[in-house]
Structure 1
């Protein structure tokens, strides 16, 4: 009984704590068990809509598929439009109404967060909340925008932080696109970088990078292939977590253990 109470509390806390996928999630990819990959493939019915920058996630998944990590069959990659489309939420409703088995929706930014006002960012957050209310069985993934080289003093940094703060405060699911670009695998921070991932080339010159990562601007739109590869790893972390995987020995941040005498 005590164990059951604990598990209930942990489950509720996990939902309240939300999920942030960032550069630390990339480093956890190697610990994902095969059972979690299998569960994600079985449970994921996703719609990912984006333009060129957002294609980096799917290119990363494709690179990993070359290594044996088959993309979930229910993952729909929609290279068509992005969050700059004023009707993105209406398009989402149309797709969800036609796909009642959907479990996940993700939309990517292009460069819009580099100039958007606070009010425009808040409008994005409000639309996401409205969709969550209308489709309670679907996970909606919030995103930050790609780096643009403007650094911590830029509008992009401010808007990304606005989205991060909202997601953490309200227990949302966040794919932190910019954070993944900001750190190399050693954890070195590059606050003034761009989506080109300038540190990626240097890293791959001095370390072993994936064998299918051979070009700076090949199939990885606007960026180095290692950036795409890492975003693919982060996407798998996201899918595994949403499918129920909880890394061994970890407890949600707000989990409370009820001790009975």
Structure 2
């Protein structure tokens, strides 16, 4: 049944990947959601296009709290709640917390790196950083993309726990 509802679920040594093709959210174990909420401290940088994620998360909270999910999920109010500090058992997701950059291309294609360094050096508890592109990547050259990948690789090397 799991494979029918979520045809692209992958079993990997470190866990299970459920991607955008999964149409049955109840196939995600409540324990996995609770574990994510208790262990992840996320900083998310984006502009308008990136707000689709947080808007969707707000919609998911309303849907789930409005009896949109059945079974085990119906016993948990605010199971999908999120806020900037993780208070009240919510997922900790700091929305657009970076000074000096709004997304991966704003104000330019490299400002995000310094903004990330500054932020991580002041927020050692953060263990996930997410950045989104707006439209700038479509006009980026191969050299600019290579530079982005190099900067990102260096951040991954310098902050292996993130």
Matched positions, count = 123
Task: Give 3-state SS (helix, strand or coil) of 1:74's partner.
Answer: strand
Q: Is the 8 A contact 2:105 2:137 kept in 1?
A: no
Structure 1 match to 2:136: 112
Question: For the residues of structure 1 that align with 2:152 and 2:18, how far apart are their CA atoms?
Answer: 18
Structure 1 match to 2:47: 51
1:65–1:46 CA distance, 2 compared to 1 (3 A):
same
Larger Rg: 1
Answering whether residue 98 of structure 2 is matched by residue 81 of structure 1, we say: no
TM-score where L is the length of structure 1:
0.43
- Pairing partner for 1:36 from 32, 37, 47: 32
Q: CA deviation at 1:102?
A: 1.1
Structure 2 match to 1:98: 122
Give per-residue Cα distances to partners, 1:123-155, cap 9 Å, x unaligned. Answer: 1111111000000100xxxxxxxxxxxxxxxxx
Question: For the residues of structure 1 that align with 2:137 and 2:17, how far apart are their CA atoms?
Answer: 19
Bigger relative contact order, structure 1 or 2 (CA pairs below 8 A, ≥6 apart) = 1
Question: For the residues of structure 2 that align with 1:31 and 1:21, how far apart are their CA atoms?
Answer: 9
- Gaps of at least 5 residues in structure 1 are 1-9, 139-261
Question: For the residues of structure 2 that align with 1:20 and 1:41, how far apart are their CA atoms?
Answer: 17
Question: For the residues of structure 1 that align with 2:55 and 2:103, how far apart are their CA atoms?
Answer: 17
Spell out structure 1 runs of 4+ moving beyond 4 A. 19-22
Q: CA deviation at 1:27?
A: 3.0
Q: CA deviation at 1:20?
A: 7.6
Higher strand proportion (structure 1 or 2): 2
1:22–1:95 CA distance, 2 compared to 1 (3 A):
same
Question: For the residues of structure 2 that align with 1:73 and 1:27, how far apart are their CA atoms?
Answer: 22
Give per-residue Cα distances to partners, 1:211-240, cap 9 Å, x unaligned. Answer: xxxxxxxxxxxxxxxxxxxxxxxxxxxxxx
Map 1:120-139; keep pairs closer than 5 Å: 120-138=144-162
Q: Is the 8 A contact 2:36 2:91 kept in 1?
A: no
Question: For the residues of structure 2 that align with 1:60 and 1:42, how far apart are their CA atoms?
Answer: 21
Task: Give 3-state SS (helix, strand or coil) of 1:102's partner.
Answer: coil
Higher helix proportion (structure 1 or 2): 1
